[in-house]
Amino acid sequence: MDERLLDVDRYGVLRVPGLVWVSLIVLTRHWFLFFFMVFTGQALVGEKGAPWLPMLAQLPVVLLLLAGGRRMPEARPMIRQIWRMGPLLVSVTAVLNLAWMAWSLYVSDDWRLRPELMLVCFSVLDTLIAWSTFTSQHVRQIFTEFPAGSEAK
């Protein structure tokens, strides 16, 4: 038996491991770029502005991160539904990130090794995260569990 399936939190559901949180954060990297731009006072519009399209593509996992932060018995039904849809939301975001990367490389006038290599590395990470979400029994089980509400007791 997988010992990770015995690691439960105070509500009796599987604890979300740090690697899952890091994976979700990697999938939402453009949101962190946006927050960095806001805090450093950079322009949010124009050619050097915020990456609005990839941020929109990463919105499903942003919602999943918020739902994960609300994994408590008093959470609303919508939060519970978002959490249960975790593998689907991760996959949709990974595919949209890959599409954004492909489009970015296709329309690029100026090719430089390091930025393009970074895009490819993030694409590999996105693919691995989506793949592991579906192939890991532990991760799939995490997304099926949510603390029972007070009405279920």
DSSP string, 5-34: GG-B-TTSSBPPPHHHHHHHHHHTHHHHHH
Structure tokens at 99: 């599409």
Query: CA–CA separation, 96 vs 101, rounded Å?
Result: 9
Query: CA–CA separation, 66 vs 9, rounded Å?
Result: 18
Domain count, the chain: 1
- Give per-10-residue mean pLDDT for the chain (153 aa): 69 89 95 87 73 91 96 93 96 95 85 82 96 93 87 49
Q: Is residue 116 part of a domain?
A: yes
Q: Is residue 152 part of a domain?
A: no
What is the number of alpha carbons within 13 Å of residue 108 lying toward its C-beta? 14
Q: Is residue 153 part of a domain?
A: no
Supply the pTM of this predicted model.
0.86
Domain that holds residue 34: 3-147
